[in-house]
């Protein structure tokens, strides 16, 4: 059954509004709409960030980029940066120190990123320890996620 034309127009408007809302997140930074599993991981980090700091409003891809691309000193000498293994361009494949390829981190070229919470937590746990010498905060995890999924 075909719905009346007015209802269709209304649906379209609603869809557009939803899409616009999905595009503008992370403090006004435009990023691609997240898949349901990505959204769930994002929301988990947002809730934890809010619990740690009631003033938290949104994740920042800019802060995430600075953390991801930055050189750090607290961790291991061989891995001073995320880019040590992931390369400067997250749209490209990286390489582990043992020589295995690492699939791109950017959500635009690898939509599987940030879809499995256990895997995400496992890698943040290992890599924040190796690069920073400490655990990452929920804010940092969400910021890097905003950066990588926004690329």
Partner 1 sequence: MSTPISRQHRAAIASGIVVAFSVSGAAPAGADGKTYPPVRDPLVAKECGACHMKFPAGLLPAASWQRIMAGLKDHFGENAELDAATAQQVLSYLMANAEPGPKAGTSASGAAGEPLLRITEQPWFKRKHGPKRISADALKRKNARSAADCVACHGTIAETAGVFED
- Residues near partner 1, by CB under 8 A: 76, 78-79, 96-100, 118, 122, 125-127, 129-130
Nearer to partner 1, 27 or 80 (CB): 80
Structure tokens at 1: 């059954």
Length of the chain equals 151
Count other Cβ atoms within 10 Å, centred on residue 97: 10
Q: Is 74 left (phi over 0), alpha (psi -120 to 50) or beta?
A: alpha
Q: Hey, which residues does 85 pair with through a beta bridge?
A: none
**Smallest gap from residue 109 Cβ to partner 1 (A):** 19
Nearer to partner 1, 36 or 98 (CB): 98
List all residues 6 or more positions away from 19 whose beta carbon is below 8 Å from its beta carbon.
Answer: 33
Helices (H), the chain: 5-23, 36-52, 61-69, 83-86, 117-132, 138-150
Nearer to partner 1, 94 or 150 (CB): 94
**Smallest gap from residue 64 Cβ to partner 1 (A):** 21
Nearer to partner 1, 59 or 68 (CB): 68
**Smallest gap from residue 122 Cβ to partner 1 (A):** 7
**Smallest gap from residue 17 Cβ to partner 1 (A):** 40
């Amino acid at each position: 059954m075909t719905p009346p034309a007015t209802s269709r127009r209304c649906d379209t408007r609603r869809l557009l509004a939803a899409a616009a809302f999905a595009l503008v997140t992370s403090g006004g930074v435009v990023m691609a709409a997240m898949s349901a599993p990505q959204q769930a991981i994002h929301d988990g980090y947002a809730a934890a960030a809010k619990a740690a700091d009631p003033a938290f409003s949104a994740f920042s891809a800019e802060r995430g980029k600075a953390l991801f691309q930055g050189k750090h000193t607290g961790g291991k000498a061989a891995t001073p940066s995320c880019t040590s293994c992931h390369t400067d361009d997250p749209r490209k494949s990286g390489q582990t120190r043992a020589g295995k390829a690492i699939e791109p981190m950017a959500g635009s070229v690898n939509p599987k990123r940030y879809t499995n919470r256990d895997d995400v937590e496992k890698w943040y746990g290992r890599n924040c320890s190796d690069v920073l010498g400490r655990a990452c905060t929920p804010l940092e995890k969400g910021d890097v996620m905003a950066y990588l999924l926004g690329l």
